[in-house]
Structure 1
Amino acid sequence: MSSEDSTARGDRVVNTGDGFERVDDADAGSAAAAADPDVADADADAETSGGAEDDLGRAGWVLVAVVVVAFLVVPGIIYLRPTAPGELGLRFFAAMLVLPFLPALLLGVTAVWSLVAGDG
């Protein structure tokens, strides 16, 4: 029997502590749990967490919003309306230094804030 046939059937090889054993997918979790109690604890923790670790939280979503503004909105404004800084009274040289600096500064401050807020 080739390994392709066993994979097609859904069999899995599990280390039971005494050696390796081929088990069905339905039995793989119980065989692994019997061989290693840490696996059973990890499975139980994964089931009880309910996916709460996947949520970014408030600080994460604020950071995502600032990244979108810094990498899409501000460059889009500069691309679509290159004369906007001149209309506001800024010279070209000053505008091309300040416009990229402000989103970078905002992104840095938000990243530090989200890191500090995420620890608490």
Structure 2
Amino acid sequence: MSSDTTSREDTYVHRPGESDIGADEPEPKGFGTRGWALVGVVALCFLVVPGAVYLVPSLPAMAGLPYLAAMLALPMIPAVLLGAAAVWSMTAATRGDD
């Protein structure tokens, strides 16, 4: 096939920065407030709560909880908090909120 018979519409040329896909969608602005809240909850769940249990293992006993019940319930609190924060931030992201 010669170049004379090929029209401009039949060839593909990638031009960076030019796209018709998602042209009416806004540019992402970063995490936003909900994303940073999710990062804070992740830090709390993976650093603060396990660190507190490691450094002060008698803390639940001081609060009146038996040791076995405390060691079963303490991981559930960050897990529920992390799940709720993830759902909260993703519902906002799918709606297009900040």
Q: TM (normalized to structure 2)?
A: 0.71
The number of residues matched between the two structures is 80
- Structure 1 residues 74 and 38, CA gap change in structure 2 (3 angstroms): same
Q: CA RMSD in A?
A: 2.3
Displacement of 1:53 in angstroms is: 2.4
Matches within 5 A, 1:14-53: 36=13, 38-42=15-19, 53=28
Tell me, which stretches of 5 or more residues in structure 1 are unaligned? Answer: 1-17, 19-34, 43-48
Match for residue 57 of structure 2? Answer: 82
What residue is the counterpart of 1:110 in the other structure?
A: 85
Structure holding more strand per residue: 1
Distance in 1 (CA, whole Å) between partners of 2:28 and 2:84 is: 24
List, as ranges, runs of 4+ consecutive aligned residues in structure 1 with deviation greater than 4 Å: none
The answer to which structure has the higher helix fraction is 1
Q: Percent identity?
A: 44
Larger radius of gyration, structure 1 or 2? 1
The CA distance in 2 between the partners of 1:114 and 1:106, in whole Å, is 12
Deviations 1:55-91 (A, max 9, x none): 1111111110000000000000000000000000000
Using the alignment, how far apart are the partners of 2:51 and 2:17 within structure 1? 51
CA–CA distance in structure 2, aligned partners of residues 81 and 75 of structure 1: 10
